[in-house]
Amino acid sequence: MSPHHSLIILARGGYAARGVLYLIIGIFALLAATDSTKPKDSHNSLEALLSQPFGYFLVGLMVAGLLVFAAWRVLQATRDVDHHGKNLKGLIIRTGLLAGGLVNGALAFFALGLLISGIGSSGNSGGQTKDWLARLLSWEHSNVLVYVIALIPLGVGIAHIIKGWKATFEKYFEADEDVMRYVRPVSRFGLIARGVVFIEIAVLLAVSGSAYQAMDPPGMKEALDALQNFPAGWLVLMLMAFGLIAFSVYSFSEAFWRKINMEVPGVSRA
């Protein structure tokens, strides 16, 4: 098997791993719409998966898939395999891809820590994270840093909503209309739903920026919890859960039908 073909298989495996992760989060969020004790973020979802039969094997597959997906995102950003270019729009997109790679890589190492040390020791790593945040946020005017960081999920969220609304993802798909007429609406819903969650994370960061303390920064769990606190919050959370499940379908669709352009310098097609 050529290096070119191997990279394509690995990239598709990464998209599939992301699909599995968001499917798990979406299912737990759906359950949480009627039971607030259910986990709703990626970390708790991985911990819950680990407690299931064959959990360690499944999380191990997830680690491999997320690492591959992170590497693919970095490759997309640094080698511009999708030809976004070096203009302002292209650089913004590539920066977002790089950030996505780093986030997925961090999540993979978190899951790897669960496998190596067990869930009990993951609490210690959380304590270390809080200590690191305490030192970082002890600086004067550290709230400005929080505002700057909030721009990242804000930009990602807006990009997802635009991508879903305009269905610009279609140009990267190699599927006929019989497939796309089902993939298109589900993918649009999933991208918009994920965009809403990221924008809410940005808002939570911005709102807390003026009085930010040494605590874990808000993430998907806090965003979904906030939705649940809305009037008819269970219905809003259920809608968003279906959206995250739809995003998992979009990820699986990318695993099957996305164009994987691997014209990368130093990687032979032969």
User: What are 258's strand-pairing partners?
Assistant: 173
Q: Which residue has the tokens 């859960």?
A: 241
Q: What's the 3-state SS for 157-212?
A: HHHHHHHHHHCHHHHHECCCHHHHHHHHHHHHHHHHHHHHHHHHHHHHHHHHHHHC
Q: Where are the domains of the chain?
A: 3-257
Q: Which residue has the tokens 């991985």?
A: 46
pLDDT tens for residues 222-268?
777 777 777 777 788 889 889 999 999 999 999 999 988 655 545 54
Q: Which residue has the tokens 């164009």?
A: 259
The span from the CA of 112 to the CA of 224, in Å, is 25
pLDDT tens for residues 128-185?
444 444 555 555 556 677 777 778 888 888 989 999 999 999 988 999 999 999 999 9
